[in-house]
Structure 1
């Protein structure tokens, strides 16, 4: 929580702060060439940071966006309002210091995982989400992200990532008028959605490739042939 609040506080004062960076990592070991300022006596007391963080959380708490924490309630993650808002976004791209497409896909994949959806259901859904993005990720990257979310290392979506993505990309008009995805929750947890026409998409689905191949074989192979 302290690390999260520090990143938010820095982002309010400085440009290009990466609020999604590793809380405990650093990327450049300090040396004589990259240190701009040094004062080893100027160190923060952890209790002081904790007190500051509590006050900061109280002042900047944003109501109305919650992630269900109890294990028994994980199955309804995909019914939460934040999930519905996130899947409507088509303008996610990302740049330095900003949440991007990988963060969005990973967050949605974790929501599917914590909602007891199968890997195949999540893949089909996120493949569709990706195709509706103005700048889609590669199919290989989608597969990599879903495998990571379904690795069992994570319990559910991060509230920090959800907030960051919505704050970065959500607009009132997109919330009210987007129809890229329309969901209907049924007894067997099936999502119904409107799919873009194939000519309007960057990527095709595997079943479409299979149909292409079947049609090609039917049109090309001659009677008596066993291969093309």
Structure 2
């Protein structure tokens, strides 16, 4: 249980107070920082598995609100633990199925592939219509992402500033020069490695073309990200199948085409996943609210799959009347109740608006 829960205009903040301070020292290679991040991530995952609306992308060491008499919803001074107790708890969580993470590594800048060479970078660079008052994402997000690509590609900060100054000048409503410098400096602060592909995809679908898919944006696709090739391994862990499948769905769907019809054998052949593992992945991702799927029998049948985030992005540009028709159509396609479809997509839209607002901290790549 948290020590304190504080209410804000857009949600709640949970405070977990330590009994004693955990000291950061250079002699230990600043290990306590990495351990604290892992504990923070495990706390989020723990509550997320119960379908609580946890913000999984906010900075682990961000600034929180000051508790006051008028905003504290819950407080128990007995809910205070030592750092050692948290570490022990966190290590136990790592054994759970929902916390197993794939063996990922950063793609940018490796083997001659650089983020500034990928299609998405040039698509954003050639888009001048980006504005700052957009409720989903705006100029700061785009500039920050472009700067991160330069940083991850080994480009000097002064060269990046020169290039993005020219880009900023081409915008319909450019950033002020001080804001531009501040955003680039943040990208080069050393706190970040690269922008998440999910965020890049949303930016490009928002400002460039809503029909863009991952295969249009990235040089290297999702299921080639592992350090060892599949034929050199005796078995693939479930978490890796899960990541491969998500990468596949992101590549094959977009905001204008948010779901696809495909035979299960085509999926198993493309990403090399056993059919039984695929069934398990489908059930888990649907229970987490990340996808929806249904089966159609017969010769022309197969599985119909949709990415919830693509459905939500597609929904955001529709009128209220068009949304009602959209909900009804999805209810028929996926065999889910109208109320469930409405609740799931409206929640996803609100999460996108809140999480992907103009804040550079959303683009921290947490390899956790």
TM-score by length of 1: 0.48
TM-score by length of 2: 0.33
